[in-house]
A and B are shown apart, each in its own frame.
Chain A
Amino acid sequence: MERTLLGSTFLFTFLFVSLGICLAGIIFRIARWFAVDTGPEAGFIPVKKRVSAVLKGTAAALFSLKFLKIFKVLFFDLLLQSRILKTSLSRWIMHFSIFFGFMMLLLMHALDEIITKRLFPGYFPTLDPFQFLRNLFGVMVIVGVGIAVYRRLRYRGPMLITRYTDRYAVALLAVIIVSGFLEESSKMISESSFNRMMSGYFSACEPHDETALKAFWSREYGSVFPTMKFRITPELLARGKKLSEESCASCHADTRTAFISYPAAGFMKPFALSLSKSRAEVWLYYIHVLACFIGLAYLPFSKFFHLITDPLTLLVNGISDKKKVNPLTAMPRRAMELDACTECGTCSRYCSVAPVFRMLQNTEILPMHKLRTVKRLASGKDMDSAELQIISEGAFICTTCFKCTEVCPAGINLQDQWLASRELLSETGHPLPHVWLKKFNASEWSDRMRYFEASWKEADAGKERYYNLTDDSNVFAPCIQCQTCTNVCPVVAARTDPKDAVDITPHKIMNLLRLGLHDLALGSRMVWDCTTCYQCQENCPQGIKVTDIIYELKNRAYEHFKKIDRTAEINEDPC
């Protein structure tokens, strides 16, 4: 059997179908970047404008003098993957092994007819250094995949999620590489392959030449001839060596340089006869090649799509200023970035508010989860108010510290994604707590509180708190209502809105607590408009911790009010 692709109509058809699916998939996914709405610009920038802006921007970038920047991205970020190295050596070893090993196998081995043969006229897959390198690159991929699997087994939890896409990607890579090695090994020990090669490239001059060649190959190169019996003598080996040098060496290096396949072949020797009879090397070849084609077709729909999106993202964000966002190209760029995320979890590991997640256990605080949610929102998924409320909590706990953007190996402008999604959330009625908490005034919240949850004190009963200033009368009982707190409060002084002016002032909050009317204090605007400047606490002649009390009221209010449906109507008076 001639092992070229073109020789098999079946494989040839398969390749073209796979290529077709791959290209169609890529085009489909890229086209979507222009269609989906990923930010507050959605309303006033039609799809046409987005396309033309991106084309103009690309042309401008290509013809500008940004070569140095482009080169830097290509060399350091893409080729050396320095952004991964910046955060973790082990992850870099993992990723670089897979990337470099796989790329080299693709260029040197899979595309050998097109690339390697032209660069090296004497190329033959079974010659060194190609044979050796193929094993080396294969080992790199296996080592990388091994580390990846280990990491995913070792670190489970919200920081590193393993989805079916990860499993498929890893499994496919493993199948490709392992089948490749096994094919090489099975060929080494296949008697039928040997006979086929011999009949094609070897003609015996003397009667024992065939035996001599086989004897030499079985001794030196690991070939196995289960159907033959011969007594190996030094003379026979010497003759075999000479014949091998004459007929085989121009295309075959020592099989031992295939340092994985050779020992693997050794293990397979006991089964050599049945493997040879069942033409194992042929079906292993089919598995190997078909797995590659399946990978090709699957590429645009799998984790492998990052092979396209990540270099693009790195290039786009590498040459543009992350702090100055062009509104015309912002949405396609964000959509591309959403596809570029591989959920590697680096952002979440460096997230400034990760400790808050540890306490609140809302995964929407973690950037990796947040980006997935942004993607779901962009794809137009319907979410109910309760779900959006949870998303909003995460979005506004983020301090936009820029750290995730700096560490993202794919170069995603996460900062911009967060700022854009916050705007969208605010527009849809899920702004930051300080804003939605002012939707109702103190007595309206109090009504709602009673309607949904009996009263604050009842809901709170039995909870162990580290501090309980608002429930401890010793804390606020000394208040003599002298109003010093109110008089020094800059917020009270600055209020000009008459709607705000009727609300409660600091000394009145102290009074409400003294009267046991906690529910009324919770939702007061004073509490949410407090600047926490500590003037009241510093100046209180009775030493009351006024600001700390206000902080505690905010905590309690948030804890209870976030559970209350803000959209529901309350018709009856529960009292």
Chain B
Amino acid sequence: MKFAFFKGCKIPYYLEQYGSSTRAVLKTFGVRLLELDFCCCGYPNRDLHFESFVLSAARNMALAEKKNLDILTPCKCCYGSLKHAFHFLHENERLRRDINAELAKEGLVWKGKSTVKHLLTVLCDDIGLPAIYASIVKPLGGLSVAAHYGCHALRPSNIVHFDDPLAPSIFEDLISATGAKPVGWPRRLDCCGNPLWGKNNAISLALMRTKIADAYESGADCICTACTYCQLQFDAIQSSVKTDNAASPELPSILYTQLLGLSMGLPERLLGIKRNIIPVEKLKIV
């Protein structure tokens, strides 16, 4: 199995461990990842200028198409952005024509032949749960994990086709495979707040804190994410606004690839465990 690995903009500087742990985990399943000359997925610019968002996303898909590869991205915002652009290009002929005219200047064309997949889908469907169960050498028994779904992979379901938008289960299934126990929590499908970070920090933090409190009350030891932005929100940003308020406890957040990697017995260094700002050591799984 081989994919074009779409890391997105934030992993190289802000969340290296997501890139390295994804590579480490997928390597053991024989998945090869190829990094192309990708640009931004277009998501941050969709707020300001529709056409630039579509061109950015289309360029990335066209690059993968040229190599005859499907795209794998570990980031849910990149995933949503690419899927949306795919949808718009597919349904709007005039848009497709104009974007392709722009792409042609660098010898690219978007035909819609490359599929965009999120990391969790590749793990669950392409590699398959049986193979994942078989790879576990250190089951993480006793750990209660709150699966945070991430909005942009889940909704709108008619465009992203990720899982059932109202009752998804893919993330819990994957967490169960590691031996950890996924907890049920009412706010699992809510937004992490990161899209508003830097734009309206009060609301961004309110959204984050509501979720953390909910996960905590539901008995979770940690939150588990499979999205660059969600992880940044629950790790770097949560720790940067740390308060000593006992009512709003700090809850560590772990990337799914780190969780899976640990249960597969992969070396900590590759998983970048120490790079997490809120230490996950106290979970006693490392």
A residues near B (Cβ < 8 Å) are 323, 350-356, 358-360, 397, 399-403, 406, 415, 432-435, 438, 466-467, 490-491, 494-497, 528-529, 531-535, 537-538, 545, 547, 551-552, 554-555, 558-559
Contacts and interface: CB of A to CB of B under 8 A. Distances in A.
Given A399-B9, A399-B44, A406-B12, A356 B49 contact: yes
A439 to B, nearest CB: 13
Given A358-B55, A466-B95, 7 more contacts: A350-B37, A528-B200, A531-B203, A534-B156, A535-B191, A555-B47, A558-B47
A467 B56 contact: no
Contacts of B190: 490, 533
A355 B52 contact: yes
Interface in B1-55: 9-10, 12-13, 37-40, 42, 44-52, 55
Contact of B52 (A359, A497, A552, A554): A359
A534 B49 contact: no
Contacts of B156: 534, 537-538, 545, 547
Nearest to B60: A355
B206 interface: yes
Nearest to B198: A432
Nearest to A399: B9
B195 interface: yes
Given A490-B191, A494-B207, A467 B92 contact: yes
A528 B92 CA distance: 26
B208 to A, nearest CB: 10
A359 B55 contact: yes
B13 A323 contact: yes
A352 B40 contact: yes
B193 A531 contact: yes
Interface in B164-207: 165-166, 190-191, 193, 195-196, 198-200, 202-203, 206-207
A1 B49 CA distance: 71
Contacts of A356: 40, 45, 49, 52, 55-56
Contacts of B207: 490-491, 494, 531
Contacts of A495: 203
A354 B39 contact: yes
Interface in B32-85: 37-40, 42, 44-52, 55-56, 59
Contacts of A551: 46-47, 50
A532 B165 contact: no
Contacts of B56: 353, 355-356
A558 B50 CA distance: 11
A400 B94 CA distance: 32
B191 A531 contact: yes
Q: What 6 A-B pairs are tightest by C-beta distance, nearest first?
A: A534-B155, A401-B9, A434-B199, A402-B13, A533-B151, A399-B9
The CB with the most chain A CB atoms within 10 A, among B94, B196, B200, B207, is that of B200
A360 B102 CA distance: 13
26 contacts: A350-B37, A353-B40, A355-B42, A356-B40, A356-B45, A358-B55, A399-B44, A400-B9, A401-B9, A434-B198, A466-B94, A466-B95, A494-B206, A497-B202, A529-B196, A532-B46, A532-B195, A534-B151, A534-B154, A535-B155, A551-B47, A554-B48, A555-B47, A555-B50, A558-B47, A558-B48
Contacts of B195: 531-533
B interface, how many residues as a size bin? Answer: 35 or more
Given A466-B94, A494-B206, A531-B193, A355 B59 contact: yes
Contacts of A360: 49, 52
A7 to B, nearest CB: 57
The CB with the most chain B CB atoms within 10 A, among A467, A491, A531, is that of A531
B151 A355 contact: no
Nearest to B50: A555
Contact of A532 (B59, B152, B198, B203): B152
A359 B51 contact: yes
Given A353-B40, A355-B59, A529-B196, A554 B9 contact: no
Given A401-B9, A534-B151, A467 B50 contact: yes
Nearest to A406: B12
Contacts of A403: 12
A466 B13 contact: no
B39 A351 contact: yes
A353 B46 contact: no
Contacts of B59: 355
A106 to B, nearest CB: 37
Contacts of A532: 46-47, 151-152, 195
The CB with the most chain A CB atoms within 10 A, among B48, B156, B203, B210, is that of B48
A360 B48 CA distance: 10
B248 interface: no
Contact of A496 (B48, B49, B94, B206): B206
B155 A537 contact: yes
The CB with the most chain A CB atoms within 10 A, among B40, B151, B166, is that of B40
B243 interface: no
B165 A538 contact: yes
A262 B60 CA distance: 54
Given A358-B55, A551-B47, A533 B155 contact: yes
A355 B63 CA distance: 13
A466 B40 contact: no
A400 B166 CA distance: 34
B39 A529 contact: no
A496 B209 CA distance: 14
Contacts of B48: 397, 433, 554-555, 558
A496 B203 CA distance: 8
B203 A494 contact: yes
A386 B157 CA distance: 41
A244 to B, nearest CB: 60
Contacts of B165: 538
A406 B37 CA distance: 13
Contacts of B206: 494, 496
B39 A352 contact: yes
A533 B191 contact: yes
A397 B45 contact: yes
Interface in B120-149: none
A182 to B, nearest CB: 43
A494 B151 CA distance: 17
A107 B226 CA distance: 57
A554 B102 contact: no
B13 A538 contact: no
B207 to A, nearest CB: 5
A535 B157 CA distance: 10
B63 to A, nearest CB: 11
A217 B178 CA distance: 87
The CB with the most chain B CB atoms within 10 A, among A350, A399, A406, A496, is that of A399
Given A466-B50, A529-B196, A535-B155, A496 B92 contact: no
A538 B189 CA distance: 12
A174 B12 CA distance: 41
Nearest to A559: B49
A473 to B, nearest CB: 20
